[in-house]
Amino acid sequence: MNTNQLSMLRRDVPSEVHAGLKEHFRDRYTINPNILAQHGTDESHYAPAPPDAVVFVMSTEDVAFTVKLCATYKVPVIPFGVGSSVEGHVLAVQGGVSIDLSRMARVLAVRPEDMTATVEAGVTRTALNAELAHSGFFFSVDPGADASIGGMIATAASGTNTVRYGTMRDNLISLTVVTAEGDVIRTASRARKSSAGYNLTQLYCGSEGTLGIVTEATVRLHPRPEEVLAAVANFPDIKSAVDAVIQAVQFGLPLSRAELLDALTIHAINRYSKTTLTEAPTLFLEFGGAAGEAKAHADHMQQIVHEFGGGEFAIAISEEDRSALWNPRHHAYFAALQLRPGCRSVTTDACVPVSVLAACIEETRAELQQFGMTSPIFGHVGDGNFHCLILIDPADSEERERAEALSERLTRRAMRYGGTCTGEHGVGLHKIEYLIEEHGEATVNIMRRLKRALDPLNILNPCKVVHS
């Protein structure tokens, strides 16, 4: 179903719900059309699907109150962080109440001895790292956008640091969650490991608000490397760049980041950021370690780059130079959009075994050219994840259909290569139909049974992840 068809399933929000929310939240409750529209829109290509009301919560108790009230009247609730998702996660396709967690933005505790921090769900990754600036530690998950921790948990986010530090799943200790009944639970203790019962922490990570609403999280921290170096190298083709990273990983080089950008992406970055990078397939790399280690690793990588036909290997050592090198990569999404001002992006998210990444990208690029679509390609080559930003005129239905067809072909190609329909963006509305192809009917039936058991009224972010 598209969003228009889903919106036909909108549920009525009784006046009792509006009255109860208004009494509890006062000026933190709104039905202002502009705010509703904001909370029914994300970075996906879907048309907006606004909720019927928005509440700005300040505590776990606020969330629990809202869910209990809405459960009484079977009204949907949709958690909202910063709206940076790209698969339609926050769209209120059945109406209901958007629970905005952005004001739950406190870092509750930093425990250097345990290498953990406890934060509210609305804390963004950059805010957490700013809090940690003088602690000697940092939070590693970096999806590019300044997403909230709660949103990153909801989608099991990853990003540029994954090759060394892992995904959101690897960096969670415990969660505080509001259930579909409005109960408040904690999924685990603060111990580094546990064999006590089911792993509820991981169950809620990646559930996209369909099983419960995360309000607090205890996350892992990592020591800041004593020495950090960044590097950029261009290659004659994508395969050479990917093979260089594969060899580096096989040699045991501890790459902190390994990002691949195709020539079109570099062209977009040069226009947007006023840089002068060689417009060819390019690796953005980072190394970290004790004094002298990062430089040794970078020198080894430089040899590998030259073995695979790479060109100039530019190194940045100071924090200022590293930021200048990496900032264009972080702005790649917005740079790509400027290739067609006024366009929207159908953003794909394929992840395959690294050994077949180059072949998958090359097949995809050839197909994009065949369909005549402008689409920069970039991704996290160290873990086999890459994205195509298929740029479309939102008013051109034929172009949208071509983009959707390409997205579908890429998703099935990734699964054919032994990969997944989504490496980090999540399922949302867009990838539901692929879950059976990837996992099988029996596996998806277990997911449905979990959804029905934990959310029998189907009020938690309905129509996302699985059809319940």
| Three-class SS of 426-444 | CCCCCCHHHHHHHHCHHHH
**CB neighbours of residue 444 within 10 Å:** 18
pLDDT at res. 115: 97
DSSP structure string for 110-177: EETTTTEEEEETT-BHHHHHHHTTTTTEE-----SS--BHHHHHHTT---TTHHHH--GGGGEEEEEE
* pLDDT band, residue 9 (cuts 50/70/90): confident
Sign of the CA dihedral with 268 first, then 272, 277, and 278 last: positive
Q: Given 3-state DSSP classes, what are the helix, strand and coil percentages for the chain, each rounded to the nearest 5?
A: 40, 20, 40
What one-character DSSP code corresponds to residue 215? E
Identify the structural domains of the chain with CATH numbers, from first to last: 1-224+431-468 (3.30.465.10), 227-334 (3.30.70.2190), 336-429 (3.30.70.2740)
What one-character DSSP code corresponds to residue 331? T
pLDDT at res. 44: 84
Residue closest to 255 by CA, chosen among 322, 323, 163, 327: 163
Q: Please write the tens of the pLDDT for every residue from 360-402.
A: 999 999 999 999 999 999 989 989 999 999 999 988 999 999 9
Q: Please write the tens of the pLDDT for every residue from 432-465.
A: 999 999 999 999 999 999 999 999 999 999 999 9
∠ CA 278-163-157 to the nearest 5 degrees? 100
Q: Are 50 and 92 in contact (CB under 8 A)?
A: yes
Question: 3-state secondary structure string, 223-252?
Answer: ECCCEEEEEEEECCCHHHHHHHHHHHHHCC
Distance between CA atoms of residues 91 and 462, nearest Å: 10
- Stretch 18-35: mean pLDDT: 98
| Contacts with 313 (C-beta within 8 Å, 6 or more apart), sequence order | 231, 232, 233, 301, 302, 305, 306
Q: Are 267 and 328 in contact (CB under 8 A)?
A: no
Q: Please write the tens of the pLDDT for every residue from 220-265.
A: 999 999 999 999 999 999 999 999 999 999 999 999 999 999 999 9
- Stretch 91-114: mean pLDDT: 97
* pLDDT band, residue 135 (cuts 50/70/90): very high
Q: By CB neighbour count within 10 A (0-12 exposed, 13-18 middle, 19+ buried), where does 26 fall?
A: exposed
- Stretch 190-196: mean pLDDT: 92
pLDDT exceeds cutoff 90 at 8: no
Distance between CA atoms of residues 219 and 452, nearest Å: 28
Conformation bin of residue 292: beta by default, left when phi > 0, alpha when psi is -120 to 50:
left
Q: What is the mean pLDDT of the chain?
A: 94
Sign of the CA dihedral with 16 first, then 17, 20, and 22 last: negative
**CB neighbours of residue 402 within 10 Å:** 17
- Stretch 147-175: mean pLDDT: 95
Q: 3-class DSSP state for residue 63? A: helix
Most confident of 10-14, 139-143, 206-210, 289-293: 206-210
Q: Please write the tens of the pLDDT for every residue from 40-64.
A: 999 888 889 999 999 999 999 999 9
Structure tokens at 253: 């080089």
Residues forming a β-bridge with 99: 55, 79
Of all residues in the chain, the percent with pLDDT exceeding 70 is: 98
* pLDDT band, residue 2 (cuts 50/70/90): low
pLDDT at res. 174: 98
pLDDT at res. 94: 96
pLDDT at res. 331: 85
Distance between CA atoms of residues 367 and 218, nearest Å: 43
pLDDT exceeds cutoff 60 at 1: no
- Stretch 342-349: mean pLDDT: 91
Sign of the CA dihedral with 374 first, then 379, 381, and 384 last: negative
Structure tokens at 122: 């609305």
pLDDT exceeds cutoff 80 at 429: yes
∠ CA 294-165-246 to the nearest 5 degrees? 70
Distance between CA atoms of residues 100 and 137, nearest Å: 29
- Stretch 104-111: mean pLDDT: 98
Q: Are 334 and 272 in contact (CB under 8 A)?
A: yes
Structure tokens at 467: 């059809």
pLDDT exceeds cutoff 90 at 4: no
Q: Are 430 and 438 in contact (CB under 8 A)?
A: no
- Stretch 125-153: mean pLDDT: 94
pLDDT at res. 455: 98
Distance between CA atoms of residues 456 and 461, nearest Å: 13
**CB neighbours of residue 41 within 10 Å:** 17
